[in-house]
Structure 1
């Protein structure tokens, strides 16, 4: 489920130039659709999580797989920016909310022991990363062979496979009342009033900004820079770099889960964010080449989605698993606010200045901020008053 849902969406950066060129759009138009997708994904995630915690995740995942596939096909069939935003932004955004980490992690939280929970979450995040490695060359191959629009239709058919996969994740023993009598509204008030939860949300905003900016704008950035550095001309370097990010993140997310069992997760998160800032800085300072791009992609790959198992494991550790899907969705909403900003402002500031340099600088500064904001997080479980 996560391999398909995350793998397909990581390739949207490859469609940026073909679709904008074919439709006569500026990069801001396409960037807005993907930014809306991430924003809708963020808004819908807590709702999908609450519904999954209340009624079980099965129906939520079926609806999500259907909307995901229809959204991809809708993107292929329209050249109108408004309809493109509805398909690529609204439909796929809701589909992602119902088929990605928060819903799947809710299933893991209920069915995997606490001793192995962060490890299992790391395995699942690695599956999403493998999807990126698997789908990048496939999507580029479809674009090269059939064109962007037909490639989106084929991806829509592939996304529909998530519907039968939902049947394998159906929990026959699901109970809506796991772990006490706390209500949804009480859980929300408790989380939002907790400083650790707020710090996690601020750090996750940065993760979304950096990841989606690079996913969506690395290929156009390399295309622009090929005028100065002919070695990186063509889509091959960008496709290979994005695939390498997915490949190395299989390693990064797996070991994030392993290390999260042994070391304080807040320190691991801080280390990930500051290392991202260092990697981006070196990428911009060193003369650009295919080799430097691939090294940057490999380093970023190790750090890419490694925040996901660590962040969600902290949520489960502090608040328990009863409303894990909803609370993971809520903290993920902050991630998607960052994703919206990374996607949209990448396109907006490029159209405004003709360069991505300002956005790269913002990504570096935010990484330093996220490093610092994760350090004071306390990972101890909440002690709640005894219920009558």
Structure 2
């Protein structure tokens, strides 16, 4: 019994570790943007387009990865995704032109990020737990931000001391080593619920989902979540802070601390989702996220305002994930979690792609980001309203 419990929490720990690595690599495009603009003469809209295309590739892969992890377990997807990211990092380190950037980051990294992502980790971890399910999911997925607390500032130091090409070489080596480690650690026996394969196929499950109002509620709110988190903040926060006059290291440290509070927020929301109404909790998270953007619009020359935004947005950023997963299990059933989270991840990526491109386009047009933050305020509050509508939908979990 004790060994079984240890095995479950080991998988939680592995999920935490790999998400910490991969999500840090994803977020570095914000750090690299000013450097590439100076070295290659690339516009921010061009670089943002590459980031948006990467998110679209992720969106194409995510639903199938989320569905398949229930049948085959997480190991082949995690290891394969990490190796894809490692190869893309090598190509990034040697790129000399825009087409190499699009192939390495947008295409190859997009494949890796689409597989080594929160929807795969959620689908792998959630079936293992009957008690403390939300907490386990919250801890595992918190790795998506926890690693950035330490790694992003280290990356900034590497960039200043050695250069961006050398930084990507280090990434490649680390990803390859972690892939080998995961091949061994994830060989542990899967839980009973993970072994049983769906009798229905992907398309049958998808057809079932589109008939459910609760699926549309979580899908569209999570798509707006992508715009207001990954799209505008992960891609444009550090360039925005640079435009506000903050040094690169200060911006990186702010992002790192934001990630630390993000980690706390995910664990706390997972803990609370086991103990309070999940719909109300999700609604509060979206509305508070929207209000945090108001603070961001006033950070110019004001470190106190920047610190307040760092705390507020961090707590209400990825904290939507464990709560959304809990709502899916309650309303649609555990067996539908993998495919539903995969489709939601696709919507999240498309929303993020829109946010990433929109921010770059507006900056090239007006040399400012204010319109993007106003849009983010409105869309986050809309996501909260959509989420609250779930309160009036009857749970009908699918048992087979």
Give me the TM-score of the superposition, normalised by structure 2: 0.89
Is 1:84 equivalent to 2:101 in the alignment? yes
Partner residue, 2:147: 131
Q: 1:155 to 1:98 in 2, by over 3 A?
A: same
Distance in 2, matches of 1:120 and 1:184, equals 26
- Kindly state the Cα deviation for residue 128 of structure 1 after the two structures are TM-superposed: 2.1
1:74 aligned partner: 91
1:292 matched to 2:308? The reply is: no
Given that 1:7 and 1:134 are in contact with CA atoms closer than 8 Å, whether structure 2 keeps it comes out as no
Q: 1:173 to 1:272 in 2, by over 3 A?
A: closer
8 Å CA contact retained: 1:56, 1:171 = no
1:99 alignment partner in structure 2 = 116
CA–CA distance in 1 between the matches of 2:181 and 2:129?
19
Whether the aligned pair in 1 keeps the contact of 2:295 and 2:308 (CA below 8 Å) is: no
Q: CA separation of 1:288/1:280 partners in 2, compared to 1, >3 Å: closer, same or farther? A: farther
Distance 2:96 2:172 in 1: 17
Q: Is the 8 A contact 2:331 2:397 kept in 1?
A: no
How much has 1:203 moved relative to structure 2? 0.9
| Residue pair 1:121, 1:309 contacting (<8 A) in 2 also | yes
Deviates more, 1:215-224 or 1:332-341: 215-224
Contact 2:223 2:348 in 1 (8 A): yes
Count of paired positions: 379
Greater shift, 39-48 or 182-191, is seen at: 182-191
- Please list, as runs of the form range in 1=range in 2, the aligned pairs for 1:4-19 lying within 5 A after superposition: 4-19=21-36
The offset of 1:95, in angstroms, is: 0.6
Q: Distance in 1 between matches of 2:175 and 2:210?
A: 34
1:286, distance to aligned residue in structure 2 (A) = 6.3
The one of 351, 362, 367 aligned to 2:380: 367
Is the partner of 2:368 in helix, strand or coil? coil
Q: What pairs up with 1:235-384 in 2 under 5 angstroms?
A: 235-285=248-298, 288-378=301-391, 381-382=395-396
> Structure 1 residues 145 and 306 mapped into 2: Cα distance closer, same or farther (>3 Å)?
same
Provide the secondary structure at the position in 2 that maps to 1:375. helix
The 5 Å alignment of 1:101-116 reads: 101-113=118-130, 115-116=131-132
Q: CA deviation at 1:11?
A: 2.8
Task: Tell me if the contact between 1:58 and 1:169 (Cα under 8 Å) persists in the aligned partners.
Answer: yes
Q: Which runs of 5+ in 1 are unaligned?
A: 227-231
Q: Distance in 2 between matches of 1:347 and 1:198?
A: 29
Please give the root-mean-square deviation of Cα atoms over the aligned residues, in Å.
Answer: 2.0
Deviation at 1:383, TM superposition (A): 5.1
- Gapped regions of structure 2 (runs ≥ 5): 1-17
TM-score by length of 1: 0.92
Query: Corresponding residue for 2:244?
Result: 225
- Cα deviation for residue 235 of structure 1 reads 0.8
Residue 188 in 1 paired to residue 202 in 2?
Answer: no
SS at match of 2:272: helix
After superposition, give the CA deviation of every residue in 1:4-30 in whole Å (9 maximum; x if it has no partner): 112322232111111221111111111
Deviation, structure 1 residue 296: 0.8
Q: Does 1:216 align with 2:235?
A: yes
Mapped to 1, the partners of 2:396 and 2:201 lie a distance apart of: 16
Q: Is the 8 A contact 2:142 2:267 kept in 1?
A: yes
Residue 28 of structure 1 pairs with residue 42 of structure 2: no
Q: Residue 377 of structure 1 aligns to a residue in which SS?
A: helix
Answer yes or no: is the 8 Å Cα contact 1:42–1:97 preserved in 2.
yes
Query: Match of 1:382, SS?
Result: coil
